[in-house]
Structure 1
């Protein structure tokens, strides 16, 4: 929650001030602890189940293996791991103010949250870049499968490098007989090393990528909503294709906005705490922290719900995944939606459409974007 050396313990294993602690026990009435535990347990179950199904839908079905969807797999994997390996353990630590999980997991808890956040938001940024190239510059070369894997690997490597300093300075201490997992930053005159690192992390894993995505999706939106279908082309087919691209963009914009809204209060809380450390000494800050941390972690469970509601292929995949439930009845259309590739006539029509667009440059800018 922050650092108050007199009244209150804190723990923030998924962002700035990760896993630092004060000296007193985190206490609350049993009924409050039970309510918070229920809320966090529900979050973890929904996030892990939903993201695991998203990964299965994409990797188990050839038709779903596109560049955009590979980045969605990367995003889902980061969210799944964040929910499984950070949320529950951090809640236990915050609830008891005792680190039960050993030195190795202390290092991991100070390495992985920043890594997962970086991977999540830069996967969204990569999707925005891919959509930008597909819609704004449809005839430029697209990212290949090896290129996609290289970008994903690069995202993970940079994320690990960014999180490494916090992991490096992690340590186990004993305070008043209780084991603590803390980050022991090097001493300097004004604590500037600590502050600059955390402000840099917030800028790189939140504000900078959000600005990039805002600009990309603004240009994409203007391009799509101004685009007219050339009259001599097959209007209905091209209109459907254009509407499908608009729906993909709407889906990803909603994913980005949800992430931004969930994490903004949490980041503002720690930015404020960096300059006003006495806020951590207020009694109510315990409940504030648990609420803000729950909101931030809840970002891991919303994406599968968004995909299911706004994308018919993911909706079909979820019906197939839950087919063992008596209230879910998948249809043959659901299986066809995920397993069948476009017919030969559709592929020929798409090729003909692209050839026509190349032959008529003056109309290409207003025509169908290459998918």
Structure 2
């Protein structure tokens, strides 16, 4: 029997086929139990990510107290994570499990285009938060971004994201075999050619290394300012509360950035290596490695809401409000005031503390 072999490599999925006469056989067929395990693993990402990020979006939009410059960028980050989990994760696991593209050329283009867009929007939103925190802490007397300016910056972030992802959309094609269809990026000079390598190198620099470098520098300078010197002992309670609040926000964002960087590092290494050493795709176990790498990368969309809830009091109060229908979750008066009148609440709490101290001093002197 005449046997020919054809390898097809896609940025979204790595799939290989062998052609025996008129029959196309998948070299990476998985048993049903393995497909079921991957389906469960990816479903966890979708459920947690969609639930968590929609809640974050609601917390920010439904409470005026939460509509700050930093939170607008967090809102954009939450939308990017939510949309990628919704529009790409499910289709990724279906395609990787069945090795057959059911969704047509239009969605093939979108499927290859949108992950890069969402990644770019996410990491540049984090960089914008880092720069905003830097300006607020290092140069507190300079005017902050207005609501309109913040929206313009977010619009620019998406414009850059669309531009960087456009080649993925433009070169996407669907190829038809006797028994299945594939979705791939068909570069002009083939996989591993000059166009492909240049694009991969540009991507890893522009949507990973450069933003991380900006955040490393800004957060290092912020850390020197906030933790480099002790708070004066005679400083007012208001000043100490401000410093502590700023430290908490910076800690939270450092955790968010570190988590994102670790989740996406194997993804970038995988595709950079693949663009230079195509032989790594020839191993039969590479499909499992690919699915694990993509799972780790996509899982970055579900961690941020958990981080906000654990490290930020206002978001924690917001989550309690959102899930107050759950029997064991109770919303306290402090939670209600934290979101609606946070500043008034803190001043009142401080005033009560001062009065209590004064009463104790007066009692002792008497």
User: Which bracket does the TM-score occupy, shorter chain normalised?
Assistant: 0.7 to 0.9
Is residue 104 of structure 1 aligned with residue 98 of structure 2? Answer: no
Matches within 5 A, 1:6-155: 6=5, 11-13=10-12, 21-23=15-17, 24-25=25-26, 26-155=28-157
> Is the alpha carbon distance of 1:154 and 1:217 closer, same or farther for their aligned partners in structure 2, counting shifts above 3 Å?
same
Aligned residues: 338
Identify which of 158, 161, 167 aligns with 1:159: 161
5+ long unaligned stretches in structure 1: 14-18, 350-371
- Structure 1: distance between partners of 2:202 and 2:260: 19
Identify which of 184, 191, 194 aligns with 2:193: 191
- Structure 2: distance between partners of 1:96 and 1:295: 20
| SS of structure 2 residue aligned to 1:22 | strand
1:32-59, Cα deviation, whole Å (9 max, x unpaired): 1111111100111000100000010011
**Corresponding residue for 1:332?**
333
- Structure 1: distance between partners of 2:185 and 2:252: 38
TM-superposed CA distance for 1:106, in Å, is: 0.9
TM-superposed CA distance for 1:8, in Å, is: 7.0
8 A contact 2:14–2:290 mirrored in 1: no
Based on CA coordinates, which of the two structures has the bigger radius of gyration?
2
5+ long unaligned stretches in structure 2: 18-24, 351-366
TM-superposed CA distance for 1:344, in Å, is: 10
**Corresponding residue for 2:283?**
282
TM-superposed CA distance for 1:233, in Å, is: 4.3
- Structure 1: distance between partners of 2:126 and 2:191: 39
8 A contact 2:337–2:345 mirrored in 1: no
TM-superposed CA distance for 1:134, in Å, is: 0.5
> Is the alpha carbon distance of 1:336 and 1:91 closer, same or farther for their aligned partners in structure 2, counting shifts above 3 Å?
same
- Structure 2: distance between partners of 1:38 and 1:290: 13
| SS of structure 2 residue aligned to 1:107 | helix
Is residue 221 of structure 1 aligned with residue 223 of structure 2? Answer: yes
- Structure 1: distance between partners of 2:50 and 2:151: 23
TM-superposed CA distance for 1:227, in Å, is: 3.8
**Corresponding residue for 1:352?**
none
Is residue 172 of structure 1 aligned with residue 166 of structure 2? Answer: no
**Corresponding residue for 2:243?**
242
TM-score (norm 1): 0.86
TM-superposed CA distance for 1:177, in Å, is: 3.0
TM-score (norm 2): 0.87
> Is the alpha carbon distance of 1:10 and 1:28 closer, same or farther for their aligned partners in structure 2, counting shifts above 3 Å?
farther
TM-superposed CA distance for 1:339, in Å, is: 1.1
TM-superposed CA distance for 1:175, in Å, is: 2.5
| SS of structure 1 residue aligned to 2:310 | helix
- Structure 2: distance between partners of 1:325 and 1:245: 32
> Is the alpha carbon distance of 1:105 and 1:190 closer, same or farther for their aligned partners in structure 2, counting shifts above 3 Å?
closer
TM-superposed CA distance for 1:342, in Å, is: 2.2
Root-mean-square deviation (Å) = 2.2
- Structure 2: distance between partners of 1:336 and 1:189: 57
1:69-106, Cα deviation, whole Å (9 max, x unpaired): 00000000000011111111011111111101112111
> Is the alpha carbon distance of 1:63 and 1:189 closer, same or farther for their aligned partners in structure 2, counting shifts above 3 Å?
closer
